[in-house]
DNA sequence: AATGTTATGATTGGATCCAAAGTAGAGCTT
DNA sequence: AAGCTCTACTTTGGATCCAATCATAACATT
């Protein structure tokens, strides 16, 4: 897999995400090849990858179409990530938190604390949070004893809106987002607490609930 | 994706599963193409699919290698299936079991009862069980309200030994397998009971535990 | 002798060509 | 006029060709 080849996959993923190709729309190899300025070969390879990722699905006997996602699908994808990250957290709690891991998690907790300490949110804080949030989640999932859980989550995250760092969107209402991140930070801290004490079931449930933060908490915190 | 093309993927998957290509071994396009009697093009496409499935992984900068799986990976894959099927069962319990679904599940329960009624196991019963077991699981997962969970399970099942129907192996010790299936049948019945009563948490936990049946129950039942 | 550099060989990625399968449209038959 | 069939065109799948990249080995230089 070359870099240019990867770029075809990600560029196509981006186009689909942006709605350039409408859900349900039949998508032809030649059209995409011309659009991206490459030959059919890398496009065909990319179609395979995107089919496995779930963004494309076979259209009848012939070719592919953009898969459409319902509200229920998005909710479900978030729940899937929740149970998988919950599984990772539980396993981690059961196997015991090592000194180094504890320290590493503490780093991201601390960064989160610092970010929120000033009492409000700036535009550029969003990226900072997204970064530390990603590290926090990756640290837990990557320490669960096998790459299998991480792989399953990675595949699930290919679905739009399923990834953990697709929380913050609304940079208009930064005060609302601030409260959301405050809650997320608390949840992170609780998870670490549970992990430290070997409380597997609690860690699992906290992590599950944490997955919903980008989904249902808007109404709750939105006054 | 043509039929011949699918066949390259599945034939290659079979060869890897059988150990024809050793884990960790570098796997070349030309070698596979000659082995299967096709050109490099379908092989390259198949490599993409198998990479996404997790059976192949990139070997350095160039080409692919057969991924190796540890004991921990197998255990983890089974747990992943457990939590995902558990999620499906819980959602199903929460949304309520429809009349038709109840009837359909009852069919597979009944077939299981009939299979085990005679008090022992024959060689050909293994396939029958495998079939009804697959239907039972697919019915639950397919009714969870979104194909997303099923997709995640399907991708996970590509890993060797993770699939639900890889329970029965030992056709030498059919008496031992009989008791295992008896337990599996009971678990199926308990799951349906929980689903009927809308007991989401119970259904989830039963389904989770059920995933382990091919893994840890051998020692328990093996005297 | 060891290390760095260059050259050659192996292997993958991209483009194009050809064949096969499918779809749509037009014309014919009933 | 409706339905069926045949044909032509579109699109995908497989094979092959060419270019680019990586690895290995040999040779030269310090």
Highest mean pLDDT among A24-28, A176-180, B29-33: B29-33
Which of A134-138, A185-189, B210-214 is predicted least confidently? B210-214
The pLDDT of residue A58 is above 70: yes
pLDDT grade for A167, boundaries at 50, 70 and 90: low
What pLDDT is attached to residue B219?
Answer: 58
Q: Which residues of A touch B159 (CB under 8 A)?
A: 148
A49 and B53 in contact by Cβ < 8 A? Answer: no
Q: Is the CB of A61 under 7 A from strand C?
A: yes
The pLDDT of residue A74 is above 80: yes
What pLDDT is attached to residue B223?
Answer: 39
- A149 touches B at CB < 8 Å: yes
**A168 vs A215: which has the higher pLDDT:** A215
- B48 touches A at CB < 8 Å: yes
B146 and A52 in contact by Cβ < 8 A? Answer: no
**B24 vs B92: which has the higher pLDDT:** B92
pLDDT grade for B176, boundaries at 50, 70 and 90: confident
Q: Which residues of A touch B152 (CB under 8 A)?
A: 80, 152, 155-156
Share of chain B above pLDDT 90, in %: 66
Residue range B25-34: mean pLDDT, rounded: 92
Tell me if A185 sits within 8 A of A112, measured CB to CB.
Answer: yes
In whole numbers, what is the pLDDT of chain A averaged over residues? Answer: 89
pLDDT grade for A89, boundaries at 50, 70 and 90: very high
Instruction: Please state, as a whole number, how many other Cβ atoms lie within 10 Å of the Cβ of residue A35.
Output: 14
Residue range B8-31: mean pLDDT, rounded: 90
pLDDT grade for B19, boundaries at 50, 70 and 90: confident
What pLDDT is attached to residue A223?
Answer: 40
Q: Which residues of A touch B54 (CB under 8 A)?
A: 148, 151
The pLDDT of residue B89 is above 90: yes
Nucleotide nearest to A4 (CA to C1'): C13
What pLDDT is attached to residue A218?
Answer: 55
In whole numbers, what is the pLDDT of chain B averaged over residues? Answer: 89
DSSP string, chain A: --HHHHHHHHHHHHHHHTTSSPTT-EE-HHHHHHHHTS-HHHHHHHHHHHHHHTSEEE-TTSSEEEPP--HHHHHHHHHHHHHHHHHHHHHHHHH---HHHHHHHHHHHHHHHHHHHTSS--TTHHHHHHHHHHHHHHHHHHTSSSHHHHHHHHHHHTSTTTSTT-----SS-HHHHHHHHHHHHHHHHHHHHHHHTT-HHHHHHHHHHHHGGGTTHHHHH--
Tell me if A161 sits within 8 A of A74, measured CB to CB.
Answer: yes
pLDDT grade for B216, boundaries at 50, 70 and 90: low
Residue range A108-137: mean pLDDT, rounded: 92
The pLDDT of residue A122 is above 50: yes
Residue range B151-178: mean pLDDT, rounded: 79
Cβ-based contacts under 8 A for chains A and B = 90
**Contacts of B96 by beta carbon, 8 Å cutoff, 6+ apart:** B198
Best probe of the A interface among B6, B67, B80, B157, by most A CBs < 10 A, is B80
Domains and CATH numbers, chain A: 3-66 (1.10.10.10), 71-221 (1.20.120.530)
Distances in Å between the alpha carbon of B9 and those of A8, A41, B15, B34, B148? 22, 18, 10, 15, 23
Distance, CA of B130 to CA of B136 (rounded, Å):
10
pLDDT grade for A215, boundaries at 50, 70 and 90: confident
Residue B56 is given by DSSP the state E
Residue range A11-33: mean pLDDT, rounded: 90
Q: How far is A161 from chain B (nearest CA, A)?
A: 13
What pLDDT is attached to residue A6?
Answer: 67
Residue range A33-56: mean pLDDT, rounded: 93
The pLDDT of residue A220 is above 70: no
């Amino acid at each position: 897999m070359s870099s240019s080849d990867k770029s075809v996959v990600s560029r196509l993923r981006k186009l689909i995400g942006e709605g350039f190709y409408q859900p349900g729309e039949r998508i032809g190899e030649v059209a995409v090849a011309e659009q991206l300025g490459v030959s059919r070969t890398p496009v065909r390879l990319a179609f395979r990858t995107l089919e496995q990722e779930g963004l494309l699905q076979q259209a009848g006997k012939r070719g592919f179409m953009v898969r459409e996602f319902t509200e229920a699908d998005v909710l479900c994808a978030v729940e899937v990530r929740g149970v998988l990250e919950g599984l990772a957290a539980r396993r981690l709690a059961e196997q015991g938190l090592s000194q180094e891991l504890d320290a590493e998690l503490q780093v991201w907790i601390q960064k989160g604390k610092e970010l929120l300490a000033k009492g409000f949110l700036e535009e550029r804080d969003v990226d900072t949070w997204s970064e530390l949030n990603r590290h926090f989640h990756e640290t837990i999932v990557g320490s669960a004893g096998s790459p299998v859980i991480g792989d399953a989550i990675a595949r699930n995250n290919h679905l739009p809106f399923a990834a953990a760092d697709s929380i913050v969107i609304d940079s208009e209402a930064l005060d609302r987002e601030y409260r959301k991140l405050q809650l997320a930070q608390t949840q992170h801290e609780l998870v670490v607490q549970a992990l430290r004490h070997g409380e597997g079931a609690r860690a699992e449930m906290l992590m599950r609930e944490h997955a919903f933060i980008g989904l249902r908490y808007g109404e709750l915190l939105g006054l």
